[in-house]
Each structure stands twice: as C-alpha cells, then as structure tokens.
Structure 1
Amino acid sequence: MKEGIHPKYQPVVFMDSTTGYKFLSGSTKHTTETIEWEDGNTYPLVRVEISSDSHPFYTGRQKFTQADGRVDRFNKKYGLTDENAQE
C-alpha cells in the first residue's frame, strides 16, 4: 500500500444525540471533541443524530401506514362488509 494516502483508523466513541447512547467502534472519522470512556482512556467523540438505540426499525416503534390492503380500505371507506359482498 502507498504510504500517506490512507486516513488514520482509530477507536472512536459514537454518541447518539437524542438518547445519549454511546458505543466504541473503529473509524476514520476525525473530530476535535474527546470523551473519557469506561476503560479510563480518552477517545475522540463523534455525535450522530440517529443510532440503533433511537432508530424506529431497531426500537420497534415503526409506523405501519398501510397495514391493510387496498380491498380492505375500499370496503371500510364505502361501508361494505363480507355479509354484503356475498349477497
């Protein structure tokens, strides 16, 4: 590999801005903020807006806007039931 062209890979603490959840991971991301981690070492701190702690997919707080199908929505809208459809 060529010397001097690759970014420095180092341990970095990522912090979710909405929940305060922190995790340590390797990254090439550069920041001027630092934080003391649980092991007593100081690592660069990268703030993120969303992580697995706050993302709806991982937390189970998803919105299911189209849970029922087209036929069910049509029947609800026009008041049709299974009893009326068979007659």
Structure 2
Amino acid sequence: MKQGIHPEYHEVVFVDSVTGFMFKSGSTKTTDQTVEFEGATYPMIRVEITSDSHPFYTGKQKFTQADGAVDKFNKKYGLK
C-alpha cells in the first residue's frame, strides 16, 4: 500500500440520538466530542438511527402503505 494516502483509522463510539444506545467501532470519521465508554474516553459520533431504534431490528415496522392498498383493493374489487 502507498503510504500517506489513506485516512487514519481509529476507535470511536457511536451514540443513537433517539435511544442513547452506544457502541464502539472503528471509523475514519473525526469529532471534537468525547464520551466515557467501558472505562476509557473515546471520540463520540451521534447518529440518527442504529439497530436499537430501526424498525426492522425492533420489530415495530409500520405497514400503513400496504394496509391502505389492501383496503382500496377490497373496496374496489371485494366480494359483495
């Protein structure tokens, strides 16, 4: 690999803005904010959604669009 062309890779803590869920991972992203995590201080990056708050992982998916399509179909072509 060529030297000096790749960004610095370091450990950071990602924090879910909604639930406060935190996890440590590697990243090239930098920040001025820090947080205590597992007895050490790491750079902190806030994210809007993680596996802790995403509907696919929490099982709280909303099927309003599909429900509306089914109702519309039944209203138009339903058995009478």
2:73 matched residue in structure 1: 74
Task: Give 1:74 deviation, angstroms.
Answer: 3.0
Alignment map for 1:1-87 (pairs within 5 Å): 1-38=1-38, 40-64=39-63, 65-67=65-67, 73-75=72-74, 77-78=75-76, 80-81=78-79, 84=80
Which runs of 5 or more residues in structure 2 are unaligned?
none
- Segments of 4+ in structure 1 off by > 4 A? 67-70
Which runs of 5 or more residues in structure 1 are unaligned?
none
SS of the aligned residue for 1:74 comes to helix
SS of the aligned residue for 2:73 comes to helix
TM-score (norm 1): 0.76
Cα RMSD over matched residues? Answer: 2.2
* Larger Cα-atom Rg: 1
Q: Which amino acid in the other structure matches residue 37 of structure 2?
A: W
Residues of 2 paired with 1:53 and 1:45: CA distance?
17
Task: Give 1:45 deviation, angstroms.
Answer: 0.3
SS of the aligned residue for 2:66 comes to coil
Residues of 2 paired with 1:2 and 1:80: CA distance?
66
Residues of 1 paired with 2:18 and 2:69: CA distance?
34
Task: Give 1:79 deviation, angstroms.
Answer: 8.1
The sequence identity of aligned pairs, in percent, is 61
